[in-house]
């Protein structure tokens, strides 16, 4: 009880004395102290201020006897060492050292030791702390304070006996209980103030960096809001956009959502911000509620403080309407045939998979294949072929009512998917389509399409149904394509003769000469019949040559001549597509070859040239020479005979050429 009675006054006086300690926290806040950046002069001034505060602490204290004073200098000096660094601490202990030495007395040595050891321990604590396990800051500071005051009590051993025992009896309890708590409280105050200063500076630096970053973009709205949706920052582009759209001047600290008038848009934005507040960064692409064709890409990212706590959200918003339109056009084209604008094979495959389920049964599949597209391309050019494709595509859409059902899956192939359609109904639609399509006439040619059809009524494999439809189409094609090709070739020949009547007369005269040569060569009737067919068709390839070139009054230039030389190849392609004419197609290809190998298009020579082509070569050349052309006068019969004679063995087969001369050389007039 005597121990408590003696210690009670010390508790009271030292508690009053300790109030001065908390001025250290004010000093730390007022000076914005940073050990790394604060200048030496400022550190010295700060040390003097702390020294003066320590002096007042030592003046306003408990005096046990002459030369024996007790105060909270150990608290303030140890905390100074802990937070203010060597220079400030060194300056801070000068004044209390001078004052304590000036007082003198039996406690002078312990007082000086207390000042030196506690401030030094504060300086070296950062090196000692790793020896302890991780702990909360206030527990660390409490342990720090306890060790400091154990050191202080140790310093009291420098007090002479018997006074030393009285001093230890009077001070041990407060030094081991109250003083560590005071040290902990003061350290917590200074540490919290330090954290606030660091956080404030970090936020300030981040705000400067953020503002500089977001103002650098001129095509993106950037803004940050706190947890209450109030503006923390925004770039100039966002400010201008909000002013142009809403006619308002936004301000920091104002609620961003309060500016959004459209409720649906406001709710969407709030939901997106809330998601980021929960720690989920995300990107949204949205069609703006107040515009039919404006898309924004919005990125929401949480803002974290130094304690890894979310304090707000940053929003990056960019108008991607043009990009979205481009992406949509690319997606559209990826499922479309660019020529007919029908769906393509990719769409067909995906749509077939989608429709292959019971709710769409019966699923009828119609396949279609154009008859004569190649001939059309060869005879009249690809523009005519494109017109044929587009015409058929339009008719298919009209008959099957829904363009999403029709796809072009190949050069001349189409497929139509008919969900919930019976085979009978599909057949009726096919008949309508065939009737409508075959009414079209393109470049004098009738249009023909072969159809196939099959229906899936159960859980069978859809590929098998497609195979049935294709087989059905090829069955029809066998009967339809032959007659159509023959009709097409006749149409092409008639068209050529209508465009250029001179060609029809030329073919008739060539045919007459070929038949006589064939008879003189003792050819069979079938061979002579083929010669007659070749005569009529040898220039069919000219259908693809521009009339302006065919009828040019002057000499052909190099480009025009190269085009003219293409007509044997074109004729070959037209005729080789038809089995009925395939036997003479090679003769048509070769009728401008020369016996010496200098002809065209293959530059073959001698006996490699088909005999029928060698016969027609002489007849064709003779009639060309004796016929008047826009660019030259005709030769006489004898002049033409002389020309053929000069070119025997070079341009013409010498045997057939000599036979021609024997047959016609004695005539005076042209054949």
167 in a structural domain: yes
Pick left, alpha or beta for residue 444 (phi over 0 → left; psi -120 to 50 → alpha; otherwise beta). left
- Per DSSP, the three-state class of 610 is coil
What is the residue-wise DSSP string for 186-232?
HHHHHHHHHHHHHHHHHHHHHHHHHHHHHHH-SS-EEEEEETTSBEE
Give the distance, in angstroms, between the CA of residue 68 and the centroid of all CA atoms in the same chain. 82
177 with 229, same domain?
A: no
Residue 619's region, left for phi above 0, alpha for psi from -120 to 50, else beta, is alpha
Structural domain includes residue 485: no
Rounded Cα distance between 578 and 564, Å, is: 23
pLDDT score recorded for residue 107: 82
What DSSP assignment string belongs to 103-155? H-STTHHHHHHHHHHHHHHHHHHHHHGGGSPP--HHHHHHHHHHHHHHHHHHH
Instruction: Give the pair of three-digit tokens for residue 431.
Output: 């008949």
Residue-level pLDDT at 662: 93
Which of these three, 412, 442, 477, is where a domain ends?
477
User: Is the same domain home to 303 and 250?
Assistant: yes
For residue 513, what pLDDT is reported? 93
| Domain shared by 558 and 595, yes or no | yes
Q: Quick one: pLDDT at residue 212?
A: 67
Alpha helices in 577-648 (DSSP H): 582-590, 611-626, 637-646
Residue 339 sits in the same domain as residue 458: yes
Assess if residue 308 is contained within a domain. Answer: yes
pLDDT tens by residue, 369-412: 998 888 888 888 899 999 999 999 999 999 998 756 899 999 99
Any domain includes 399: yes
pLDDT tens by residue, 52-78: 888 888 876 655 555 566 678 888 899
> What parts of the chain have a pLDDT lower than 50?
1-4, 6-8
Would you give the distance in Å from CA 555 to the centre of its chain? Answer: 56
Q: Quick one: 321 and 340 in the same domain?
A: no
**Token pair for residue 203?**
């936020």
Backbone dihedral region for residue 32 (phi beyond 0: left; psi -120 to 50: alpha; all else: beta): left
- Can you tell me the distance from the alpha carbon of 78 to that of 123, in angstroms, rounded to the nearest whole number? 8
Distance from C-alpha of 412 to C-alpha of 585, rounded to nearest angstrom: 23
Q: Where are the alpha helices (DSSP H) in 19-107?
A: 23-31, 40-59, 73-103
CA distance 660 to 302: 98
Residues 6 or more apart whose Cβ sits within 8 Å of residue 450: 368, 369, 371, 473, 474, 476, 477, 480, 481
Decide which of 168, 198, 228 is a domain's last residue.
Answer: 198
Burial class (CB in 10 A: 0-12, 13-18, 19+), 608: exposed
Q: State the total domains in the chain.
A: 4
Residue 154 CA to its chain's centroid (Å): 74
Question: pLDDT tens digits for 489-547?
Answer: 777 878 777 777 888 888 889 999 999 999 999 999 888 888 888 888 899 888 888 88
Query: What is the tens place of the pLDDT at every residue in 163-195?
Result: 888 788 878 888 898 889 888 988 888 888 777
Structural domain includes residue 267: yes
The predicted pLDDT at position 355 comes to 92
Query: Which residues, in sequence order, are CB contacts of 439 under 8 Å at separation 6+?
Result: none
Q: List the structure tokens of 351.
A: 């749509």
Residue 112 belongs to domain with CATH number: 1.10.1760
> What's the CATH code of the domain at 225?
3.30.450.20
| Dist CA 372 CA 640 (whole Å) | 41
Q: How far apart are the first and last CA of the chain?
A: 158
Domain match, 163 and 104 both: yes
Burial of 42 (0-12, 13-18, 19+ CB in 10 A): middle
**pLDDT given at position 592:** 94
Task: Pull the structure tokens for residue 366.
Answer: 């119609």
**DSSP letter (8 states) at residue 633:** P
Domain boundary among 444, 477, 510: 477
User: Half-sphere exposure (CA, 13 Å, Cβ side) for 220?
Assistant: 15
CATH number at residue 530: 1.10.3210.10
Cβ(312)–Cβ(226) below 8 Å: yes
Q: Are residues 236 and 104 in the same domain?
A: no
Confirm whether 206 is domain-assigned. Answer: no
CATH of the domain at 448: 3.30.70.270
Question: Nearest Cα to 76, choosing from 93, 91, 64?
Answer: 93
* 441, 352: one domain: yes
- Does 431 lie in the same domain as 522? no
Residue 491 lies inside a defined structural domain of this protein: no
Cα separation, 73 vs 184, whole angstroms:
14
Structure-token pair, residue 50: 């702390």
Strand duo 295-304 + 310-319: pairing: antiparallel
pLDDT value, residue 4: 45
Coil vs helix vs strand at 403 = helix
State the residue range of the domain holding 632: 500-664
Contact call for residues 624 and 514 (beta carbons, < 8 A): no
- Tokens describing residue 7: 């210690």
Which strands, in side-by-side order, build the sheet including 221-226?
Answer: 231-234, 221-226, 310-319, 295-304, 282-287
Same domain, 427 and 554: no
Q: How far is CA 517 from the centre of its chain?
A: 71
For the beta carbon of residue 518, count every other beta carbon within 10 angstroms: 21
Domain for residue 209, yes or no? no
Whether residue 369 is found in the same domain as residue 314:
no
Confidence (pLDDT) at 498: 79
412 and 507 in a single domain? The answer is no
Angle at 230 between CA 227 and CA 236, to 5 degrees: 125
């Amino acid at each position: 009880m005597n121990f408590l009675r003696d210690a009670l006054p010390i508790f009271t006086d030292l508690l009053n004395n300790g109030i001065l300690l908390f001025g250290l926290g004010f000093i730390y806040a007022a000076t914005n102290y940073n050990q790394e950046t604060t200048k030496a002069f400022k550190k010295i001034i700060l040390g003097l201020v702390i020294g003066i505060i320590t002096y007042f602490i030592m003046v306003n204290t408990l005096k046990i006897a002459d030369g024996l004073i007790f105060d909270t200098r150990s608290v303030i000096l140890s905390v100074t060492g802990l937070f203010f660094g060597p220079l400030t601490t060194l300056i801070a202990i000068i004044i209390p050292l001078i004052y304590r030495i000036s007082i003198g007395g039996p406690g002078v040595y312990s007082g000086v030791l207390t000042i030196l050891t506690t401030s030094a321990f504060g300086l070296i604590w950062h090196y000692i702390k790793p020896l302890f396990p991780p702990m909360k800051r206030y527990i660390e500071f409490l342990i720090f304070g306890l060790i400091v005051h154990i050191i202080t009590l140790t310093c009291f051993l420098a007090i002479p006996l018997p006074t030393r025992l009285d001093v230890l009896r009077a001070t041990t309890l407060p030094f081991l209980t109250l003083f560590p708590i005071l040290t902990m409280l003061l350290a917590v105050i200074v540490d919290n103030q330090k954290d606030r200063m660091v956080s404030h500076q970090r936020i300030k630096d981040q705000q400067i960096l953020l503002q500089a970053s977001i103002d650098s973009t001129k095509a993106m709205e950037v803004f940050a809001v706190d947890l209450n949706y109030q503006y923390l920052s925004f770039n100039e582009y966002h400010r201008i956009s909000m002013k142009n759209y809403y006619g308002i001047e936004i301000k920091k600290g104002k609620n961003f959502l309060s500016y959004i008038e459209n409720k649906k848009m406001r709710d969407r934005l709030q939901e997106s911000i809330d998601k980021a507040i929960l720690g989920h960064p995300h990107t949204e692409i949205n069609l703006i509620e107040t515009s039919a064709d404006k898309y924004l890409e919005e990125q929401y990212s949480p803002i974290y403080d130094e304690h890894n706590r979310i304090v707000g959200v940053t929003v990056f918003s960019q108008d991607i309407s043009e990009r979205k339109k481009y992406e949509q056009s690319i997606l559209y084209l990826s499922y479309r045939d660019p020529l007919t604008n029908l769906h393509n094979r990719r769409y067909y495959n995906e749509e077939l998979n989608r429709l292959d389920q019971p709710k769409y049964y019966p699923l009828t599949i119609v396949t279609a294949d154009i008859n004569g597209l190649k001939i059309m391309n060869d005879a009249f050019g690809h523009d005519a072929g494109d017109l044929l494709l587009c015409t058929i595509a339009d008719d298919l859409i009209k008959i099957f009512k829904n363009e999403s059902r029709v796809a072009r899956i190949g050069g001349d192939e189409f497929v139509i998917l008919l969900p919930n359609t019976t085979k009978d109904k599909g057949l009726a639609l096919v008949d309508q389509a065939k009737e409508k399509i075959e009414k079209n006439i393109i470049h004098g040619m009738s249009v023909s399409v072969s159809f196939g059809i099959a229906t899936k009524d159960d859980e069978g494999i859809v590929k098998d149904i497609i195979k049935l439809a294709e087989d059905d189409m090829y069955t029809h094609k066998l009967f339809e394509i032959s007659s159509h090709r023959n009709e097409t070739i006749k149409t092409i020949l008639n068209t050529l003769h209508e465009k250029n009547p001179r060609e029809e007369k030329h073919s008739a005269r060539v045919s007459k000469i070929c038949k006589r040569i064939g008879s003189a060569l003792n050819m069979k009737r079938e061979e002579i019949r083929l010669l007659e067919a070749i005569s009529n068709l040898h220039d069919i390839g000219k259908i693809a040559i521009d009339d302006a070139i065919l009828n040019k009054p002057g000499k052909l230039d190099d480009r025009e001549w190269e085009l003219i030389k293409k007509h044997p190849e074109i004729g070959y392609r037209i005729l080789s597509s038809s089995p009925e004419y395939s036997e003479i197609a090679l003769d048509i290809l070769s009728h401008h070859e020369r016996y010496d190998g200098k002809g065209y298009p293959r530059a073959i020579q001698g006996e490699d040239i088909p005999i029928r082509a060698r016969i027609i070569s002489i007849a064709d050349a003779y009639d060309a020479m004796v016929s008047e052309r826009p660019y030259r006068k005709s030769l006489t019969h004898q002049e033409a005979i002389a020309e053929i004679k000069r070119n025997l063995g070079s341009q013409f087969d010498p045997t057939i050429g000599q036979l021609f001369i024997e047959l016609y050389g004695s005539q005076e007039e042209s054949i």
